[in-house]
Amino acid sequence: MRKILFLSFIFFYSSVLLAQKNLIPMPQHLEISKQGSFHLKGNLTVGVGAFETQAKYLADQLVGLLQSKVTLKKHGTILFHKINREITDQHDYYELKINAKEIVISASTEDAAFYAVQTFLQLVEENQSKGSIPALEIKDYAKFKYRGALLDVSRHFFTVDEVKLFLDYLSRYKMNKFHWHLTDDQGWRIEIKSHPKLTAIGAYRAVTDDVKDSKLTKDGRYGGFYTQEQIKDVVAYANKLQIEIIPEIEMPGHAQAALAAYPELSCTGGPFQVGTTWGVMDDIYCPKEETFALLEDVIDEVVTLFPSHYIHIGGDEAPKTRWKTCAHCQEMIKKEGLKDEFELQSYFIKRMEKYINAKGKDIIGWDEILEGGLAPNATVMSWTGIEGGIHAAKAGHDAIMTPVSHMYLDYYQGNPQSEPLAFNAELRLDKVYSFNPIPKELNAQEAKHILGPQANMWTEYITNFKHVEYMLFPRLLALSEVAWGTSKPEAYKSFENRVIHEFAYLDRKKINYSKAIFELNG
Ligand code: TNX
């Protein structure tokens, strides 16, 4: 009998301990106390201390979760304190202390208070059925200040509500940058009042097999765009989730939708159709004055819509085929004393950077902006590999690491035979988890320029939002831990157990996800 009691005590105790360890991302420090627990039953009071917005947000979330009354008061049993702490490489520091009497959240920034709340909410969900959370202490911070994900809304269009869901998913796992890929060959998705044809023509394309069952326009075209009011609404929504939205306006390549609307901005004059096939198109913006004039008009409106410090101006996959044979381009190369078309692209990007810098913003560009000379204040998004990021950091520029090898969410996450059609490459959960955003080639000083990782959801093969979810989960969980800085590749198995545990949450929320990890496990 005694033995049974003892064993059941061990079982109970270890399940209590384990339950606290299902957090994603795992905090930097977590200590579970052997005694005491905070009761979730009855009326909870949240103290509107140092972080009023977060206190209100928490109260709302708790009402939804616990279906019980939660009162906001000056002093509550859940308290918010402000603390000062500035340590390089430790962003958004917070402490979460839970004992039998109270819950104390101490945070250094508004974002940090929000992350403390996310951690707390995960703990509440976890322990809800038991009615109490065991006493514990968490000291936590993010290793990387940039924790990003891209959604391509050009290849296939996603509604405002779907974009908001994407933001919800990011925020649960403490991701803080949303890279909104708003323009590409297959669709221009942002209303620009000074150039209405960008959306009137550029936002819609001919119907192809993959979208024949989607909602079409009355005249049978596929597509859509966000009005400026909708953009403001999404930006405000993201702001509440402590997410910065970085808009991307592609140039000089991936511009076919814009050229369909304004063919005079090309080197040949067109005409062009909004793209219906994938890949890299030869027709790109021609570096003429009228092109710069239009792009500057676009930037004028973009900067008023997005408070973000960054504007992403693309720069990737811009073939120089047309520029080589265009008399105007060759003249320009001579006039500006440039060596070749790569330097002409560099001229293009530098000129746009100057315009954007004058608006008090900085540019980000894909790693091809290194070719022909990097613009003076540019941040490089390293996608073709990690080399672009290494090069940028060594040259004293900031870099964001999003290499195809570890960060491409449009790749298969399991056996292609049992997965939906995807880009012809593979990226499994363990590979995402193993990513170290700081290349070993960098010394400590250079490594400071690595802002963090980003994963990219390109949507050539993704026609609906359920499929976006499927490609996002569970790889987002690995990304979040890499970005937060608590991934330990050697402990992948225990991470995988937490992922499996999180599947129950995804099921409850009816979020679609891939079960490819079970297939791997046999
Ligand atoms: C490359 S990543 C692209 C995208 C495609 C993606 C498909 C980058 C800057 N350019 O246009 O969607 O590959 O994986």
3-state SS, residue 414: coil
SS3 labels along 35-95 = EEEEECCCCEEEECCCCHHHHHHHHHHHHHHHCCCEEEECCCCEEEEECCCCECCEEEEEE
Alpha helices in 358-397 (DSSP H): 387-394
How does residue 43 score in pLDDT terms, banded at 50, 70 and 90?
Answer: confident
**Residue 372: pLDDT over 50:** yes
- CB of 242 closer than 8 Å to CB of 172: no
Q: Considering 95, 111, 140, 184, which one is annotated as catalytic?
A: 184
Predicted confidence at residue 205, as pLDDT, reads 98
How does residue 2 score in pLDDT terms, banded at 50, 70 and 90?
Answer: low
Angle, vertex CA 27, rays to CA 26 and CA 31, nearest 5: 110
CATH 3.20.20.80 intervals, the chain = 148-521
* Pocket test residue of 384, 458, 459, 462 for ligand 1, highest count of atoms within 8 A of CB: 458
CATH 3.30.379.10 intervals, the chain = 20-142
Among the ranges given (32-36, 304-308, 344-348, 466-470), the one the predictor scored with the smallest mean pLDDT? 32-36
Determine the residue type at 519. E
- CB of 73 closer than 8 Å to CB of 48: yes
Paired strand residues for 142 = 91
Angstrom distance (rounded) from CA 179 to CA 156:
16
Atom from ligand 1 closest to the CA of residue 381: 9
Strands (E), 379-500: 379-382, 399-401, 411-412, 423-426, 450-457
276-283 mean pLDDT:
97
Per the annotation, the verdict on 316 as an active-site residue is no
Predicted confidence at residue 179, as pLDDT, reads 99
Angstrom distance (rounded) from CA 200 to CA 285:
19
Q: Whose CA is nearest to atom 6 of ligand 1?
A: 458
148-521 homologous superfamily = Glycosidases (3.20.20.80)
**Residue 519: pLDDT over 90:** no
How does residue 397 score in pLDDT terms, banded at 50, 70 and 90?
Answer: very high
Predicted confidence at residue 42, as pLDDT, reads 81
Task: Output the ligand 1 site: residues, CB below 6 A.
Answer: 316-317, 366, 383, 408, 410, 423, 458, 460
**Residue 17: pLDDT over 90:** no
Phi, psi values for residue 178, rounded to 5°: -115, 115
What are the tens digits of pLDDT across the range 153-171?
A: 999 999 999 999 999 999 9
Determine the residue type at 402. T
**Residue 378: pLDDT over 80:** yes
SS3 labels along 158-193 = CCHHHHHHHHHHHHHCCCCEEEEECEECCEECECCC
**Residue 477: pLDDT over 70:** yes
Atom from ligand 1 closest to the CA of residue 314: 9
Nearest in space to 456 (alpha carbons), one of 498, 407, 415? 407
How does residue 522 score in pLDDT terms, banded at 50, 70 and 90?
Answer: very low
**Residue 16: pLDDT over 90:** no
53-75 mean pLDDT:
94
Number of residues that make up the chain: 522
Q: Considering 91, 179, 181, 254, which one is annotated as catalytic?
A: 254
- The rounded Å distance from CA 313 to ligand 1 centre is 14
Considering the chain, what is the average pLDDT of its residues? 95
Angstrom distance (rounded) from CA 369 to CA 348:
10
What are the tens digits of pLDDT across the range 307-354?
A: 999 999 999 999 999 999 999 999 999 999 999 999 999 999 999 999
Tell me the CATH number for domain 20-142.
3.30.379.10
**Residue 12: pLDDT over 60:** no
111-126 mean pLDDT:
97
Predicted confidence at residue 41, as pLDDT, reads 83
